[in-house]
Structure 1
Amino acid sequence: MTGTTDQHSSARPGRTRATTEAIVDAARHAMHEHGLDVTVGEIATLAGVGRRTVFRHFTTRENLIQAAIAAGFADFSGSLPHYDGTEWQRWLAELVLQVHRRTTEAGRIIWHLRTRRLPPGLAAAHDEQLLALHQLFTTITGTVWEVAGGTGTPPEQLRRTVAAHLSPLFTQAVLLDAEGTPEFAADIATTAIVATLNRLLDVR
């Protein structure tokens, strides 16, 4: 009897973790459609649980949204291709395309985060994600500069060019104002980054 009880006790944390992950995953998918207007009911339905279960895992709706945003960014940054020693322009084009496709998927969330007055907890979480995004841009800049043959610290102009053309707002501008696609945004961005890089390499 004791052995059976111990097995149930040891299995419980695993079930709890799986439920938490299912709720966060549901929140991420629901936010693609509804942005910050997503309701706990919509998330619960998508996760296949009740509202009470959601609040057993997350004390507030804001905490759940914060967790979903953090998980989304971790998945986004982890999905980007690492340079594997092949032709660097092909790698860069693939990376930029992935950035703009993923940004398009999360467009409604990004727009709400950038344009709305956020509650303190969510505003702090958003600031953390922006910092992580800029650190990602810096890392990409360093890799591009190195694999293209640059030496020393990458020029600030290159970092700014990368940041501008991989920015979620750049994606939105191409989609909304230029009536373009993620592929068109990626093509423009890659062309601009490569042109800036080549010019800076020639200067040095």
Structure 2
Amino acid sequence: MTAGPLAEAKRQAALDHVLTAARRFVIENGLDATMEQLAEASGVSRRTLFRLFGTREKLVASAFSTAMVNYMQNLPGYDGEVEGWLRSTCEAAHRMNAAIGPGFWELMSRSDLPPEFDAVQRSLRQDWRVRTADIARLSWQGLGRLGETPDELLVTVGAHLSSHFTAAVVTDAGRTWQTASELAYKAIIGTLRSLTPEAPTTAAD
């Protein structure tokens, strides 16, 4: 009775290993990694990868889709204290943006992607817009504001939590993800305060 579930658990563990190894390789080496390179990185044969995923593009797309599910789950939930939650959210987002690295930045910025990558890019962008809109809405409502979330706040949150922002700070400015996090927090909280001038401030800021 337990052979079926045990076999499925082993299969899922093997699949998770392949996806993690493939994602790590692409993060470090870019989207043009070959199936041979992914097989070597995963410790399995090319035949196994083709049997599991069919194509290189589907393997890499699956790896990044799985990573984004984990990413979303690891963003902190709203705890009722806007400023502390926003700081934690900025730290979590930019730490994970830095960890997923250049391969992900390439995926989210290229316009010449094959169909499988293009579909993942569009799906991830949509999921991210929904999540950042939720962060902006909760921040707005957390300060007791009613009505629609201001577009300025939506744009500020979306832009400053983006992996593109992390990439610009780390790659172009030569700074760390911690710097990206602090800059993002200051931009978001500054926008909130400019839109809600009577909201209280704290000495720590």
Normalising by the smaller structure, the TM-score range is: 0.7 to 0.9
CA-atom RMSD in angstroms: 2.0
Q: How does 1:1-204 map to 2 (within 5 A)?
A: 8=3, 11-85=6-80, 87-113=81-107, 114-115=109-110, 117-202=112-197
Higher helix share goes to which structure? 1
Post-superposition offset of 1:195: 1.0
Counting matched residue pairs gives: 198
SS in 1 for 2:91: helix
Deviation at 1:176? 2.3
- Per-residue CA deviation, residues 4-45 of structure 1 (Å, 9 max, x unaligned), is xx7655643333222222211111221221121323333333
Could you give the per-residue CA deviations for residues 95-142 of structure 1, whole angstroms, max 9, x where no partner exists?
Answer: 101111111122312332213511112111211111111111101111
> CA contact under 8 A between 2:94 and 2:161: conserved in structure 1?
yes
Contact 2:28/2:101 (<8 A) preserved: no
Q: Could you tell me which amino acid in structure 1 is paired with residue 193 of structure 2?
A: N
TM-score (normalised: structure 2): 0.87
Does the 8 Å CA contact 2:27/2:104 hold for their aligned counterparts? no
Question: Contact 1:31 / 1:109 at 8 angstroms: preserved in 2?
Answer: yes
Q: Which amino acid aligns with 1:12?
A: A
Structure 1 unaligned segments of length 5 or more: list them: 1-5
| Structure 2, unpaired ranges of 5+ | 200-205
Q: Flag the 1:14–1:177 CA change in 2: closer, same or farther, 3 A.
A: closer
Q: State, as a whole percentage, how many aligned pairs show the same letter.
A: 33
Q: Structure 1 stretch 95-104 or stretch 110-119: which is displaced more?
A: 110-119
3-state SS in 1 of match to 2:145: coil
Structure 2 letter corresponding to 1:97? E
- TM-score w.r.t. the length of structure 1 is 0.88
Contact 1:26/1:44, CA 8 A, preserved across alignment: no
Alignment partner, residue 3 of structure 1: none
* Residues 28 and 102, structure 2, Cα contact 8 Å, conserved in 1: yes
